[in-house]
Structure formats: C-alpha cells, structure tokens
Amino acid sequence: MLDIKKIRNNPDWVKEQIGKRSGEYDIDKVLELDEKRRNLLVQVEEMKAKQNQVSKDIPKMKKEGKDTSDLVLEMRNLSDKIKDMDAEVKEIDKELRDAILRIPNIPNEKVIVGKSDEENVELRKWGEPTSFSFEPKAHWDLGVDLGIFDFERAAKITGARFSIFKNKGALLERALINFMLDLHTIDQDYVEIAPPFMVNRDSMTGTGQLPKFEEDAFSIPSKDYFLVPTAEVPVTNLHRDEILEEEMLPIFYTAYTPCFRQEAGSAGRDTRGLIRNHQFDKVELVKFVKPENSYDELEKLTSDAEEVLKRLGIPYRVVMLCTGDLGFSSAMTYDIEVWMPSYNRYVEISSCSNFEDFQARRANIRYRRKDNGKLEYVHTLNGSGLAVGRTCAALVENYQQEDGSILIPDALKPYMKGLEKISK
C-alpha cells in the first residue's frame, strides 16, 4: 500500500512511476475519494467536538440545578446527524482503502524501464547450458519411465496440473526440501518456520494477494480461509500488527510449505510435468529489515538462493525484472532462472524481491528506532529458496544419462541415503 500522503502531495510523480508498470491503475479515483473524505471529516469532527463539549457541560448544569431538557433534545438531533455522517465517512473510507489497495508498489528508480519480460536484463550467469551427447528427454517422460512421477493418476484422483511423486521420486522431493532447509538454517542465518498452510483474509491482504488477485487463490469458503499460494504469506504475516524493537532486526526466516495456485490465465501454458501445477512445494526465504539496509539484503537474499543451485551444480542465470514485468507488491525483483533442457531455455525457479514498506504498510509491521524513539515501517523481502518442483524437474533433466537414469549430485547424496543414481 502506498502512503496516501505521498499520493496526495505528488500525484503526478506517483502516476509517472506507476505508469512504468504494465496495466492501468486509477490513481485519480484515490485522489477524489481522499478529497471527499477529508471534507466530510472536517464537518463531522466539528459536530463531534460540540457533542463532547455539551456532554461535559450537562453533568455540571445538573449539579447547579439547571434544566437540561432542551439541550438534551438538541443533542439528540445532533447525535442523529453525526450518526448519518459517520456512516457516510465509513463508506468512503472503505472505498478509499479498497482503491489504494489496488494500486501497485512504485518501482525502485534503479529498475530498468520496460514493457514485458522480453526487456528483462540478464545480470549474471553461472555454468553453461548442459550439453548432451544424445537427445535429452523432458522430465515428464524420464520421470514416468523411471516410475518416479505419475501425472495420469494425479489427474484421476484430483485433476489436471497435479503431480504424484513415487518411490525414489518422493525421496528426491523430500531430500531437496531438507537439503534446502539445512542450507538456509545451518550454513546461512535463517530461522526455520513451519507455518499453517491456510491463512485468513487479513493475511492475504497484508502481503498483497488480495483484494486484486482473489481469483488466483484457492479458498475455503466455509471459513473464509485461503490455501497459501506461497509461504511468503504466513511468514510475512507472522509480524502483522506488531511493533518490533530495533535490536530484533534484521529477522531472517525460511519455511517449507506446499503452495496452491489457481494458475488463472495460464490455460494451455506449461501443461506438462512439474513446471506449472496447482500444488507445488517451495522453500521460501523472508526478511524483515531496516529501510536503509533493504537493498543490500536483497543482494544477499538472492545469492543465498543461488547457493542452492551452485551446490546442486545446475546451471542458472539471474535477471532483473523490468518495470513491465514486476510483481504487484515489489519495488525490485531478481529472478533466478534455471536451465531447463526440455524448454531449451532458462526457466524461473526463484523470484527475489524487495517490497520496501509496501507490505509493511498493508500489514502494519513497524519498529521503534532507538535514536529518536519513532515508529517506522520495516522493509520486507522474500525469495524462493527454491521452488522444489521445478528444482526437481531441472535436476532430473540436467542429470539425465543416455540410459534414462538420473545421477544424484554429491550435495544431495546424504539426503538420499547415499544413492548414486536413480534408475529402473
């Protein structure tokens, strides 16, 4: 959520910044509602001030033995007027809040301006695309042949875009989760969280999934809960409506959760295999930091996620998303893209973002500065560390052998009971 004062004081600048994004956003509506609200507020507050004053006077007058019945009658009228006007203010408040919540974050000035993902910029590359002395297969073929993935039965028991991991495939999935969590908690400084896999509406609003993207989420109507689309939601909301002490910062969390997404609008894309499922596993990294450190922390968070691929020996590259491809809540995002032989290109496997105070403002996460005792919004960041399903797919494809078996990278062997390779 943007600061309404910022919008009010620099409307043209805000429009220009938001204009760098793709999509249309109605900032004039926000300005209009804000104006309307403040006009009403001045009036109703004047009336309330009078009401409060008279309410103080009445007991005094009674003590002095004066008759208050006329005054009480007058106040009864005023009270009714106030009630009507309060309701009006409340209605406008709601509209205003809803309108602001639908305005995306302002991109950081360093983010490259561009229209779509085609204008994203490659920052660095690690390794080279895997070369094969034979025709490499896609993971959905390899995995089914090896009996470690089963998509047909997943479609039967649930529907399209679900997967089953079986035998060594299930072990591999589990190993990857543990490998990633151990890396982040033991070799890096993250504290592990095992959060609920369902969250309420306030949490979804706090991180920016709602109100604008409700159709992307799976919901539990009977409780107005949502299946988590990412661990970012429960973990960032851990500190919703809290005031943190400065010495508590920075806070680093990592969490494994399954993620549930409708994938609305992606019909027909990536329909095979593990790339785009309604349910997938992910290990997430989340940071709460002081504003002055957030961009340094974004660099570290990204390299912490990259470390997973380095240790697994899977080639990848890091790109900066241009303004047109930036997510709704993000001020700056680096995507880590892994080499996927079946696609013959790099595929997104992690998205590392600095939200600055956008989420903190929505979720009301503040901290008290030691030097002046003032409250300030924290900056929040997160990134996948990594998407487990896609990592699994990338590993299978990049480590495939001519005979259809899959070599296990050294770093993962301790998590696979020392298994060297998966074969028939």
Catalytic residues: 261, 276, 348, 351, 390
Binding segment toward RNA, per CB under 7 A, in 55-63, 127-135, 266-274, 325-333 = 55-63
- The DSSP symbol for 128 reads -
Binding segment toward RNA, per CB under 7 A, in 49-57, 117-125, 269-277, 382-390 = 49-57
Residue 85 engages RNA in binding (rule: CB under 7 A): no
Question: Binding residue for RNA (CB under 7 A) from 46, 122, 189, 299?
Answer: 46
Closest listed residue to residue 132, CA positions, set 349, 388, 407, 319: 407
Which region holds residue 217: left if phi is over 0, alpha if psi is between -120 and 50, else beta?
A: beta
The answer to whether 117 and 325 have CB atoms below 8 angstroms apart is yes
Closer residue to RNA (CB): 292 or 371: 371
Beta strands, E only, 217-278: 219-220, 225-227, 242-245, 251-260
Residue 72 engages RNA in binding (rule: CB under 7 A): yes
Binding segment toward RNA, per CB under 7 A, in 38-46, 147-155, 308-316, 332-340 = 38-46
Residue 243 engages RNA in binding (rule: CB under 7 A): yes
Alpha helices for 102-200 (secondary structure H)? 139-146, 151-157, 168-182
Question: Binding residue for RNA (CB under 7 A) from 11, 51, 218, 240?
Answer: 51
Could you give the dihedral angle defined by the CA atoms of residues 416, 417, 422 and 424, in that order, rounded to the nearest 10 degrees? -140
Closer residue to RNA (CB): 284 or 356: 356
Residue 10 engages RNA in binding (rule: CB under 7 A): no
In the Cβ-directed half-sphere of 37, how many Cα atoms lie within 13 Å?
17
Residue 75 engages RNA in binding (rule: CB under 7 A): yes
Question: Binding residue for RNA (CB under 7 A) from 9, 52, 116, 266?
Answer: 52
Residue 42 engages RNA in binding (rule: CB under 7 A): yes
> Can you give the three-state secondary structure of 69-114, one letter per residue?
HHHHHHHHHHHHHHHHHHHHHHHHHHHHHHHHHCCCCCCCCCCCCC
Question: Binding residue for RNA (CB under 7 A) from 58, 171, 238, 419?
Answer: 58
Residue 5 engages RNA in binding (rule: CB under 7 A): yes
Burial of 198 (C-beta count, 10 Å sphere; 0-12/13-18/19+): middle
CA 10, CA 18: separation in Å to the nearest integer?
12
Binding segment toward RNA, per CB under 7 A, in 12-20, 42-50, 264-272, 278-286 = 42-50
Closer residue to RNA (CB): 106 or 320: 106
- The DSSP symbol for 293 reads G
Question: Binding residue for RNA (CB under 7 A) from 81, 124, 272, 374?
Answer: 374
CA 357, CA 337: separation in Å to the nearest integer?
26
Question: Binding residue for RNA (CB under 7 A) from 12, 67, 76, 417?
Answer: 76
Residue 90 engages RNA in binding (rule: CB under 7 A): yes
Residue 196 engages RNA in binding (rule: CB under 7 A): no
Residue 83 engages RNA in binding (rule: CB under 7 A): yes
* Partners of 67 in beta bridges: none
CA 204, CA 213: separation in Å to the nearest integer?
10
Interface residue list for RNA (CB under 7 A) = 4-5, 34, 38, 41-42, 45-46, 48-49, 51-56, 58-59, 62, 72, 75-76, 79, 83, 90, 243, 373-375
